[in-house]
Structure 1
Amino acid sequence: MTAESSHIASDSLLKNLQMFLELPIIPSPHSIDLSHSAASDYLYRQARAKPHVAELYHENSKLNPHSTLQIPSDASTLEQVRRWFFETAYRVDEEILIADGSGLRIPYDQLPDWLQGPLNHFSKPSSLTDLLYAADLLVLNDGVLFRVVPELDYLWVERKVENEATLLPDLFWRSSPVRLEEYSTMLIVIACPWRYMLIYGPRGYRHTLLDIGRLLGYLQHQYSSSGYPATVHQDFLDTKADEFVQADGVERSVYALLTFSPINADK
């Protein structure tokens, strides 16, 4: 290479470098992953020419005349599956319950009056109780975690909560300081999307979200009407919340927490 050609190459390199520095630079995907926002996710999608995973999932769940999703033609299939689930998964052998004697279940009347009222509606078959196919509803009261059992007049005793004072406040993400009394009674909604996806495929996730919305609407309305308004928490540390209820975070995952003010909940 001659001195002249070397000089030309250097000039060309400098021009390319100058053009590169003057162009708008999109942050690397690694930096975007560390600071999620609507704008950063948009840039990531444009820069990588790939759809966001949530967008891709939404697209896969859409129905059209050429869809490969096998959607039941009527509601009878869902009703059969839901009926099977309620009558098998939640039916414990009575001999086991009697032999053990105590500690496995409690009747609703052992809960505080204000708490048991709205929950008692789930003890009978209804469209409201059907919402517990898409989600599990847990009740934390006085340091014990219970599960609402569809169409039965008692609650399962899941377990006694240890270290309640340190576990519960850690669930919430960037929340203002809250007294522990606010956590002494709490409702926990656990989404189980695979139950619907068994029938509807990816679209079953939409059914799950809609049923959880109806469930939260009912709980908020009922407790507010009776003078015990519930606060719905949607943003919390998912891993800690799932560990708290012993959910795997995939097939069962916490989607909402409902707390009550200590002024009302302690009455």
Structure 2
Amino acid sequence: MSDDRHNRRRHVHKIIRVLALVYASSVSDTAMVQAADHQTKPTIVLVHGAFAESSSWNDVIAQLNRHGYRTIAAANPLRSVAGDAAAVSSVIRSLQGPVVLVGHSYGGPVITEAAHGKSNVKALVYVAGFAPDTGESSLSLSGQFPGSTLSDALLPLARPDGGKELYIQQEKFHEQFAADVPAARANLMAATQRPVTEAALAEPSNAASWKTIPSYAIYGSADRNIPPAVMKFMADRAHAVKTIVIDGASHALMVSHPGEVAALIEEAAKAP
């Protein structure tokens, strides 16, 4: 009887050891799969434009992070296309593996130039953003088609170097920049907006990386900063892989429609 109990205990202990090994192996395999999945997914670098700042991407980032993407909302100095692109380029150089660059508004020219010569940039996503050809500027593009009311909403301030710093007047910010964003949030955005230099908006681009890197575009039909006709022209010219037009959406697309923006970024990230 004593031997039977002893044998049963040995048998139970053996089963427990086997189950423990199976569980440990399963946990290890799962961790390896998750780690491999994270490594194969591109890093998403998001670049804000004029009159915005990095937190404008918060809701887009939240969705991308939930889906396992590493995200970086790069600080855009808004001083000059070449200088701003150099700042974003330094972020790209610090990253290993593929990168998807996302640019809003004036952030479009910045990512276009920052991606030049970067073999790890697999896609460009323009969120209500300019996609300039060589020699074009944000100002020259926005004037190609009617529809922008931005000039009437601007507040220019003199810079020590003789140039101009441009803000959107706070009382006009909601209607001009973020008409489909709740007023309370739009008022916060107006207070925290970052100015752009007039020279940066007028500076010609030196590279058109969308000619060699797949591009994607999303914009709103009610954009008052950049005429929708301009954004259609740029997306068509770039032969964008996919273009999404959101009916009634404002210039602040990443705030008012973060789900659609994040979904397009993920589509670009998953493309072969």
TM above 0.5, yes or no, is no
Q: TM-score when scaled to structure 2?
A: 0.25
Higher Cα radius of gyration: 1
Structure possessing the higher relative contact order (Cα contacts under 8 Å, 6 or more residues apart): 2
TM-score under structure 1 normalisation? Answer: 0.25
